[in-house]
Chains A and B, each alone.
Chain A
Amino acid sequence: AQSVAQPEDQVNVAEGNPLTVKCTYSVSGNPYLFWYVQYPNRGLQFLLKYITGDNLVKGSYGFEAEFNKSQTSFHLKKPSALVSDSALYFCAGLSTGTASKLTFGTGTRLQVTL
């Protein structure tokens, strides 16, 4: 069984401040973890993924995520938030094998204000 959890429904941050969107995972075997972003009336866009290797993963639009095995977390971060970062963010875990599928968290709405 696998699952990912996003404990916060919404995160509010002022523009220019650092942001963190939290995600914890529970997957069997080696975790394959992803972050996606969804803007209003749009599909999901891939931000970054962790497969193996460095615990700090850099992605699109200045985002990065830190994989922490001991805490089973994969938090999304950005050093300086922009108003245009306001969107719905999804963490996802991928089961391995031929019948793999992405399982998504419930999503966290990020609101960046001036």
Chain B
Amino acid sequence: DSGVTQTPKHLITATGQRVTLRCSPRSGDLSVYWYQQSLDQGLQFLIQYYNGEERAKGNILERFSAQQFPDLHSELNLSSLELGDSALYFCASSMGPQGSYTFGSGTRLTVV
């Protein structure tokens, strides 16, 4: 157990739907990062939060949004889902902007 908890582990949903992925960072970590891992794109950085504030944005689609709550857990919202959104979504946390990342085990999203 890495200390970073992601739920759910698996999610199957239909095109056009909306889902929410949840991440609880390791105790004491203030930064949360979201990554998408797909076969053809590798690991793509989506977005970073630090202590509730958005700090960096990567290749995140407008259909996707995220937030970090006062208790530091984070949610990634994916809407108007397309087949191509099927991927593993990882959350990672670190103590600060330059600390080592600890990854959760991921949420496997399948859009059918």
Contact = CB atoms under 8 A, between A and B. Distances in A.
Interface residues of B, number: 23
Contact of A43 (B2, B50, B55, B97): B2
Interface in B1-51: 2, 4, 33, 35, 42-43, 45, 48, 50
Given A32-B98, A43-B2, A45-B2, A101 B42 contact: no
Interface residues of A, number: 23
B42 A46 contact: no
Contacts of B105: 42-43
A90 interface: yes
A94 B48 CA distance: 13
Interface string A60-96: 0000000000000000000000000000001000101
A104 B42 contact: yes
A110 B97 CA distance: 30
B83 interface: no
A46 B100 contact: yes
B48 A101 contact: yes
Contacts of B56: 99-101
Contacts of B58: 101
A101 B45 contact: yes
A97 interface: yes
B97 A100 contact: yes
A96 B98 contact: yes
Contacts of B35: 104
A102 interface: yes
Interface of A: 32, 34, 36, 42-46, 49, 90, 94, 96-107
18 contacts: A34-B100, A42-B106, A43-B2, A43-B105, A43-B106, A44-B103, A45-B2, A49-B100, A97-B97, A98-B97, A100-B56, A101-B58, A102-B33, A102-B92, A104-B45, A106-B42, A107-B42, A107-B43
Given A98-B97, A100-B98, 13 more contacts: A42-B105, A42-B106, A43-B2, A43-B90, A43-B105, A43-B106, A44-B101, A99-B48, A103-B45, A104-B43, A104-B45, A106-B42, A107-B42
